[in-house]
């Protein structure tokens, strides 16, 4: 470790917030899985978190500049592993996302590819050494991001693929893509959304999305969204109390320890709990943005902002989904949802932010 | 596009020196980062607004829906009472099964088609049922399927998320004897129909409930039906009960002990089937009834053809129902009580007692039979072509001489015949505890006047005298009539339940014992003195009986229609034993059995089974008594006596 680095320079506020969110997650997982076959999930999650902390430590010790050095290798490796996943991946509910590892672990590749995408975008945009982003370069980068994104989409996993483009979009924004292109992207997205909302019936839209995510809503009936809304709504202002959420404990909520953990939390802790938890996420997000602002160089800014974009995208898509404001696309809520791959990639991301932060005086 | 890596170990000026120097990076894109921050604030505000709308604006709505999800009121189905035979053996039991109900609170009509196809139910039927239920309160579930197959269970289980309105309830369904044994007596259960809902007997029942439809199940429906309870439970998304909030226990239906003797019943069923096979008739139609003349208890009751009540248990399929209903032999008809036929010569003992009691004849009265006789200008044949010669009362019954009874009837007149037939219980229900009993018909002057508006033709009396003409009786009526006669003039109401006739007042008539003896002695002759019923004889037992061969259509009618229908005569046999102190009366009707001699072996087999069982029981009892007395003897000797040298100390 470089002698410049000091533990005191870590962003302890950020780490504390993440710790609180993780604890809330573990408690919610405990409640959601009590008396079920996966009763020990909360304990596993604790192990994942401890492992995540170790990975974070590793991630902040390797200078992010040298990480950027290995981006081509990481990128090619990611594409190769994603291809491998589509061949040997273990199918669950009709989608291939997991690579079985010895010892019963399942490795969700796409979660880690997110980090590679962040590094890729940072490296590509830094290497341009310009204050504005030519459309040709932007399309090149889009092409590069699209290859793994399409592979993930084919799994099929729309939600995770979306996060890749969120990172790309924020990166392009920062790199100075011309406003007219930004506007074009926004208009195209807006048009697509309004077309789908005008011309497609609710269930058709659901089916369209569920076509991409067959495991979340196999019949496209919106049953899961409805149950999630019922869970959240019945929580009321102050919630039903710990272990008292009927929707999650009686399993009307789909996967209340994973993708729908936020509705399980909203049911038991109510609107007050929701505001507190969302505030924690907001502060976390703002800390990451602040670290981006304090980053010593563009690469650091891109990395931090990429992670911020990733987090915001996860929150918007996941929390919006459980509240019925977004289609069911099934991506985890970072630091809360049960799952090793998601926890580990999140902690590595946290490590990256601290990595950048620790080196803010080095240049 | 691969650019040289920015190696941190190199000095900054060594890298990309050809590139223009960029502005101070600490301010890079700060405006855009601020934009990102504003966007983030907006995203969080939108999310919080969404949660505000769900959780604070109308939490009541979602709270109710969460409750509706997890709190269900499930009926606790009360098991129906079992049916036992006279020895306490179980005839009809219940078996555990699953019943599928539709929780109408959470029911969506657009699901119905998928549900119907998944459960192999008729969509239109189901739709009609839902329509019928529309006026009932929503919390009342509707029965979709009385008994679920494993495939149905799998369907419901795998579609829980899509059809949360499907409710699987543990129930008990009826388990009836196999092969249609005793089917007509037991009957079957089924869902109450619209017509039955209007029936006062079922006034307190509601649509969807299961009631007895036929036989004992219907007659004693209230006794057998328990009171369903209810349970308010918390269920999970699989429908598994997690918690019971409140329970109103179910009261099971009461068991019902029948007078039927399963051993006897089995023999009767078997005798009927084999008897029919021996004759080789294709239509196996007929009935057997066995009564205890001293109590009126029905010991056995068989009707052929039979049906399998298990097919009715719960909801009968339309196909099965059609098959049973369109069968020309009407398997659902209980021929013991619903088949009124001309009694034929089995009417002769009644003619004889009527003749004796009215003083029309006495035991010295004789008639000459030359194979037929002319009455009112018409020739009436006797069944024996050559004639019986001079016939007394005894031989008249024994040989079943038609001319003898033509003469008696002619002398006595139709109203006397009708009076005694009525006394014997003909022309009115026996009052047996089974629904839809037929009454048969006893013609009389008044009846002809009332129904056909003309005077009685005296010639018709001649036909009625030998149990033909308009006279019809059911096998049960015949059995009851002979039973009352056999015990000297006390007619008890036939019944199927133990203690069922405790409050009954039997019909009694002060018949002259001598007259009764004369008739019975004639019936003894029928079986034991080379009469028409020798096939009913049992060695070592005094069986008295009477055969009957009844035309189903007049000879003229048969001639005119040739062989278009089955006009073979019906065969009857009725008998009781022992003659002096009757314990059992059995009658058999054998439709189109051509000759009564085929009915006699059926009656004989049942009787033999009865007395064999009695002997067996007596032997067992004696063994027990002997054992008991031996034990007493041993006990009285004292224990010391059993131990060698016990007293020698």
| A70–chain B nearest CA distance, Å | 8
Report pLDDT digits (tens) over B104-126. 777 877 888 888 888 888 888 88
Contact B3 A127 (CB under 8 A): yes
pLDDT score for A210: 61
- Among B1, B62, B161, the residue with its CB nearest the CB of A230 is B62
Q: Is A136 an 8 Å CB contact of chain B? A: no
Averaged pLDDT of chain B: 83
Residue B512 structure tokens: 């002259």
Interatomic CA distance for residues A92 and A258, integer angstroms: 15
Up-side HSE of residue B243: CA atoms within 13 Å toward CB? 9
Contact B29 A126 (CB under 8 A): no
Residue B83 structure tokens: 């049916």
Residues in chain A, pLDDT under 50: 1, 363
Whether B8 has a pLDDT exceeding 80, the answer reads: no
pLDDT score for B26: 66
Contact B69 A252 (CB under 8 A): yes
Residue A233 structure tokens: 């709504």
Contact A315 B47 (CB under 8 A): yes
pLDDT score for B67: 82
Contact B19 A129 (CB under 8 A): yes
Contact B32 A221 (CB under 8 A): no
Which positions 154-173 of A are in contact with B (Cβ < 8 Å)? 170, 173
The two beta strands, B83-84 and B256-257, are parallel
Q: Is A66 an 8 Å CB contact of chain B? A: yes
Which stretches does DSSP call E strand in B537-629? 544-550, 570-577, 584-590
Which of B22, B39, B40 is the mutation pick for testing A, counting most A CBs within 10 A?
B40
Rg (CA), chain A: 20
For residue B306, how many other CB atoms are within 10 A of its CB? Answer: 20
Whether B38 has a pLDDT exceeding 90, the answer reads: yes
Please give the span between the terminal C-alpha atoms of chain A, in angstroms, as a whole number.
16
Q: Is A198 an 8 Å CB contact of chain B? A: no
Which positions 161-180 of B are in contact with A (Cβ < 8 Å)? 161-162
pLDDT score for B362: 86
pLDDT band at B587 (very low <50, low <70, confident <90, very high): very high
Contact A315 B3 (CB under 8 A): no
User: Is the link from the previous residue into B578 a cis peptide, with omega within 30 of 0?
Assistant: yes
Contact B35 A72 (CB under 8 A): no
Q: Is A116 an 8 Å CB contact of chain B? A: no
Number of cross-chain residue pairs from A and B with Cβ atoms under 8 Å apart:
170
Q: Is B21 an 8 Å CB contact of chain A? A: no
pLDDT score for B643: 52
Q: Is A289 an 8 Å CB contact of chain B? A: yes
pLDDT score for B23: 47
pLDDT score for B543: 92
Q: Is A272 an 8 Å CB contact of chain B? A: no
Interatomic CA distance for residues A96 and A87, integer angstroms: 9
Which positions 248-307 of B are in contact with A (Cβ < 8 Å)? none
pLDDT score for A225: 82
Nearest CA in chain A to B234: A250
Three-state DSSP state, B96:
strand
Whether B21 has a pLDDT exceeding 90, the answer reads: no
Cβ atoms of B509 and B356 within 8 Å: the answer is no
pLDDT score for A6: 79
Q: What residues of B are in contact with residue A63 (Cβ under 8 Å)?
A: 8
Give the single-character DSSP code of A177. Answer: B
Alpha-carbon A85 to chain mean position: 19
Whether B14 has a pLDDT exceeding 50, the answer reads: no
Which positions 212-271 of A are in contact with B (Cβ < 8 Å)? 219, 221, 223, 227, 229-237, 246-247, 249-252, 266, 270-271
Cβ atoms of B471 and B443 within 8 Å: the answer is yes
Nearest CA in chain A to B240: A250
| A295–chain B nearest CA distance, Å | 7
HEC assignment per residue over A287-329: HHHHHHHCCCCHHHHHHHHHHHHHHHHHHHHHHHHHCCCCCCC
Q: Is B615 an 8 Å CB contact of chain A? A: no
For residue A44, how many other CB atoms are within 10 A of its CB? Answer: 17
For residue A31, how many other CB atoms are within 10 A of its CB? Answer: 23
Cβ atoms of B399 and B378 within 8 Å: the answer is no
Whether B20 has a pLDDT exceeding 50, the answer reads: no
Residue A117 structure tokens: 């995408």
Q: What is the mean pLDDT of residues B474-491?
A: 93
> How many residues appear in chain A?
363
Interatomic CA distance for residues A278 and A270, integer angstroms: 12
Phi, psi of B349 (to 5 degrees): -55, -35
Residue B599 structure tokens: 């009915």
Tell me what ipTM this predicted complex has. 0.92
The two beta strands, B90-102 and B166-175, are antiparallel
Question: Residue B142 belongs to what H/E stretch?
Answer: strand B142-145
Question: Residue A333 belongs to what H/E stretch?
Answer: none
Which of A121, A225, A227, A252 is the mutation pick for testing B, counting most B CBs within 10 A?
A252
Interatomic CA distance for residues B562 and B216, integer angstroms: 41
Contact B234 A250 (CB under 8 A): yes
- Tell me which of B223 and B502 has the higher pLDDT: B223
Contact B36 A173 (CB under 8 A): yes
Question: Which burial class, exposed, middle or buried, applies to B454 when counting CB atoms under 10 A from its CB (0-12, 13-18, 19+)?
Answer: exposed
Interatomic CA distance for residues B317 and B311, integer angstroms: 8
Q: Is B30 an 8 Å CB contact of chain A? A: yes
pTM given for the model: 0.66
| A202–chain B nearest CA distance, Å | 16
Contact A237 B55 (CB under 8 A): yes
Which segments of B434-545 does DSSP mark as H helices, in order? 445-452, 458-465, 475-486, 513-528
pLDDT band at B386 (very low <50, low <70, confident <90, very high): confident
Q: What is the mean pLDDT of residues B587-603?
A: 78
Up-side HSE of residue B544: CA atoms within 13 Å toward CB? 28
Q: Is B20 an 8 Å CB contact of chain A? A: yes
Give the Å distances, CA to CA, from A118 to A52, A289, A309, B328: 19, 15, 10, 84
Which of B47, B110, B235, B238 is the mutation pick for testing A, counting most A CBs within 10 A?
B47
Which positions 70-99 of B are in contact with A (Cβ < 8 Å)? 70
Report pLDDT digits (tens) over A19-68. 999 999 999 999 998 887 788 899 999 999 999 999 999 998 899 999 99
The percent of residues in chain B predicted with pLDDT above 90, rounded, is 36
Nearest CA in chain B to A249: B236
Whether B60 has a pLDDT exceeding 70, the answer reads: yes
Whether B17 has a pLDDT exceeding 50, the answer reads: no
pLDDT score for B649: 43
The two beta strands, B90-102 and B256-257, are unpaired
Three-state DSSP state, B213:
strand
**DSSP state letters, A110-132:** HHHHHHHHHHHHHHHHHHH--SS
The percent of residues in chain B predicted with pLDDT above 70, rounded, is 88
- Among A69, A174, A266, the residue with its CB nearest the CB of B29 is A174
Contact A286 B40 (CB under 8 A): yes
Whether B43 has a pLDDT exceeding 90, the answer reads: yes
Which positions 32-51 of B are in contact with A (Cβ < 8 Å)? 32-33, 35-37, 39-41, 43-44, 46-48, 50-51
pLDDT score for A155: 77
Report pLDDT digits (tens) over B269-309. 988 887 656 656 555 688 999 999 999 999 999 998 888 88
Interatomic CA distance for residues A266 and A206, integer angstroms: 23
Q: What residues of B are in contact with residue A235 (Cβ under 8 Å)?
A: 55, 59
The residue among A356, A354, A353, A321 whose CA lies nearest residue A337 is A321
pLDDT band at B607 (very low <50, low <70, confident <90, very high): very high
Question: Residue A81 belongs to what H/E stretch?
Answer: helix A71-88
pLDDT score for A207: 59
Contact A230 B1 (CB under 8 A): no
- Hey, what's the torsion of the CAs at B380, B385, B387, B393, to 10 degrees? -70
| A336–chain B nearest CA distance, Å | 17
The residue among B106, A234, A237 whose CA lies nearest residue A249 is A234
Residues 6+ apart with CB under 8 A from A26: A42, A45, A46, A49
The two beta strands, B584-590 and B570-577, are antiparallel
- Tell me which of A224 and B574 has the higher pLDDT: B574
Nearest CA in chain A to B39: A312
Whether B536 has a pLDDT exceeding 50, the answer reads: yes
Interatomic CA distance for residues B68 and B84, integer angstroms: 43
pLDDT score for B531: 81
Report pLDDT digits (tens) over B518-533. 999 999 999 998 888 8
Interatomic CA distance for residues A250 and B71, integer angstroms: 11
Q: What residues of B are in contact with residue A172 (Cβ under 8 Å)?
A: none
């Amino acid at each position: 470790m470089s002698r410049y680095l000091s533990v005191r320079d870590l962003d302890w506020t950020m780490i504390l917030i993440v710790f609180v969110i993780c604890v809330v997650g573990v408690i919610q997982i405990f409640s959601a899985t009590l008396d079920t076959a996966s009763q020990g999930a909360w304990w596993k999650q604790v192990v994942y978190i401890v492992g995540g902390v170790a990975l974070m430590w590793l991630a902040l010790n390797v200078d992010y500049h040298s990480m950027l050095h290995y981006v081509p290798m990481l990128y090619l490796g990611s594409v190769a592993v994603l291809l491998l996943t589509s061949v040997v991946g273990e199918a669950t509910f009709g989608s291939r996302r997991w690579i079985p590892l010895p010892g019963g672990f399942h490795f969700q590749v796409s979660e880690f590819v997110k980090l590679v995408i962040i590094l890729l975008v940072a490296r590509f945009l830094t290497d341009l050494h310009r204050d504005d982003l030519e459309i040709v370069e932007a399309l090149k980068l889009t092409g590069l991001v699209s290859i793994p994104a399409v592979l993930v989409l084919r799994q099929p996993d729309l939600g995770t693929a979306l996060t890749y483009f969120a990172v790309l979009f924020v990166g392009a924004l920062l790199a100075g893509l011309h406003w007219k292109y930004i506007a074009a992207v926004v208009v195209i997205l807006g048009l697509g959304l309004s077309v789908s909302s005008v011309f497609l019936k609710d269930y058709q839209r659901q089916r369209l999305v569920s076509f991409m995510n067959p495991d979340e809503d196999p019949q496209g009936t919106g049953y899961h969204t409805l149950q999630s809304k019922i869970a959240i709504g019945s929580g009321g202002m102050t919630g039903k109390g710990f272990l008292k959420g009927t929707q999650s404990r009686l399993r009307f909520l789909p996967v209340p320890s994973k993708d729908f953990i936020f509705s399980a939390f909203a049911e038991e802790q109510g609107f007050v709990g929701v505001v507190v938890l969302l505030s924690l996420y907001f502060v976390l997000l703002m800390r990451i943005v602040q670290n981006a602002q304090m980053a010593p160089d563009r690469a650091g800014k891109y990395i931090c902002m990429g992670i911020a974009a990733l987090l915001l995208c996860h929150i918007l898509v996941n929390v919006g989904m459980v509240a019925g404001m977004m289609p069911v696309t099934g991506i985890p809520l970072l630091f809360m949802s049960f799952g090793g791959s998601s926890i580990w990639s999140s902690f590595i991301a946290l490590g990256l932010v601290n990595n950048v932060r620790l080196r803010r005086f080095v240049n | 596009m691969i650019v040289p890596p920015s190696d941190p170990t190199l000095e900054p000026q060594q890298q990309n020196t050809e590139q223009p120097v960029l502005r101070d990076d600490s301010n890079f894109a700060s405006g855009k980062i601020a934009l990102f921050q504003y966007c983030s604030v907006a995203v969080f505000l939108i999310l919080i607004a969404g949660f505000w709308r769900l959780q604070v604006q109308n939490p009541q709505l979602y709270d109710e829906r969460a409750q509706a999800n997890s709190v269900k009121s499930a009926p606790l189905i009360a098991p129906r009472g079992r049916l036992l035979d006279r020895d306490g053996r179980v005839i009809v039991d219940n078996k555990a099964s699953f019943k599928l109900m539709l929780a109408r609170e959470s029911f969506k009509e657009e699901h119905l088609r998928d549900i119907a196809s998944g459960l192999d139910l008729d969509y239109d039927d189901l739709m009609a049922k839902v329509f019928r239920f529309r006026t009932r309160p929503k919390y009342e579930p509707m029965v979709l399927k009385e008994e679920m197959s494993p495939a149905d269970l799998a369907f419901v289980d795998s579609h829980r998320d899509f059809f949360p309105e499907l409710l699987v309830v543990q129930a008990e369904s009826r388990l009836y004897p196999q092969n249609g044994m005793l089917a007509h007596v037991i009957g079957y259960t089924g869902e109450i129909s619209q017509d039955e809902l209007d029936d006062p007997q079922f006034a307190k029942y509601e649509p969807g409930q299961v009631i007895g439809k036929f036989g004992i199940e219907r007659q004693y429906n209230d006794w057998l039906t328990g009171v369903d309870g209810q349970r308010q439970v918390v269920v999970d998304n699989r429908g598994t009960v997690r918690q019971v909030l409140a329970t109103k226990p179910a009261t099971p239906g009461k068991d019902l002990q029948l007078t039927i003797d399963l051993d006897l019943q089995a023999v009767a069923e078997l005798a009927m089937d084999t008897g029919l096979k021996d004759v080789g008739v294709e239509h196996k139609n007929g009935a057997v009834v066995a009564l205890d003349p001293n109590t009126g208890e029905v010991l056995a009751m068989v009707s052929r053809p039979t049906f399998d009540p298990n097919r009715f248990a719960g909801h009968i399929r339309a196909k099965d129902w059609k098959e049973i209903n369109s069968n020309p032999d009407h398997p659902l008809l209980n021929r013991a009580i619903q088949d009124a036929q001309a009694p034929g010569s089995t009417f002769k003992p009644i003619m004889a007692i009527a003749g004796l009691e009215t003083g029309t004849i006495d035991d010295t009265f004789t008639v000459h039979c030359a194979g037929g006789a002319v009455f009112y200008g018409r020739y009436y044949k006797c069944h024996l072509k050559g004639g019986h010669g001079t016939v007394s009362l005894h031989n008249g019954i024994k040989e079943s001489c038609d001319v003898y009874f033509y003469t008696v009837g002619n002398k006595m007149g139709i109203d006397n015949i009708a009076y005694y037939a009525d006394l014997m219980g003909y022309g009115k229900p026996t009052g047996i505890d089974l629904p839809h009993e037929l009454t048969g018909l006893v013609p009389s002057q008044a009846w002809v006047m009332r129904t056909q508006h003309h005077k009685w033709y005296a010639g018709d009396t001649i036909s009625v005298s030998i149990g033909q003409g308009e006279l019809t009786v059911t096998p049960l009526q015949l059995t009851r009539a002979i039973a009352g006669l056999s015990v000297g003039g006390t007619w008890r109401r036939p019944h199927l339940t133990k203690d069922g006739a405790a409050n009954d007042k039997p019909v009694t008539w002060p018949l002259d014992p001598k007259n009764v003896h004369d008739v019975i002695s004639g019936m003894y002759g029928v079986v034991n003195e080379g009469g028409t019923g020798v096939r009913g004889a049992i060695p070592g037992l005094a069986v008295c009986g009477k055969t009957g061969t009844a035309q189903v259509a007049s000879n003229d009618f048969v001639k005119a229609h040739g062989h278009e229908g089955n006009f073979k005569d019906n065969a009857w046999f009725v008998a009781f034993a022992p003659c002096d102190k009757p314990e059992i009366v059995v009658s058999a009707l054998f439709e189109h059995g051509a000759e009564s001699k085929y009915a006699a072996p059926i009656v004989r087999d049942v009787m033999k089974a009865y007395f064999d069982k009695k002997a067996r029981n007596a032997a067992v009892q004696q063994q027990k008594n002997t054992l008991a007395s031996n034990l007493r003897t041993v006990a009285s000797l004292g224990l010391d006596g059993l131990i060698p040298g016990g007293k020698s100390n």
